[in-house]
Amino acid sequence: MRNSYKNIPINTSKNTHEVIFDLINTPKRWPYCDIPSGAGAFVQRLLDNYRNVTAIDIENILGN
């Protein structure tokens, strides 16, 4: 199981990011919001594929 994307840790069940990314079938210009974004592995995957992404995670809000 791959546990990182471009050295960013993935903290979810096996293949979740891959399956969800494959299910996204919308124009690339549409905005996306990843909640909770964690370390940002899925956000980076979206950005790498020309997606407009907003990342939100409780740690970002708390400043940790």
Q: What is the pTM of this model?
A: 0.80
Count the neighbouring beta carbons within 10 Å of the beta carbon of residue 23.
Answer: 8
3-class secondary-structure state, position 9: strand
Residue 38 in contact with residue 11, Cβ under 8 Å?
yes
Count the neighbouring beta carbons within 10 Å of the beta carbon of residue 43.
Answer: 22
User: Mean pLDDT across the stretch 18-27?
Assistant: 86
Rounded Cα distance, 36 and 21, in Å? 16
Number of domains the chain is built from:
1
Q: What is the tens place of the pLDDT at every residue in 6-17?
A: 999 998 998 999
Where is average pLDDT lowest: 23-27, 32-36, 53-57? 23-27
Q: Is the pLDDT of residue 27 over 90?
A: no
Provide the domain limits for residue 25.
4-62
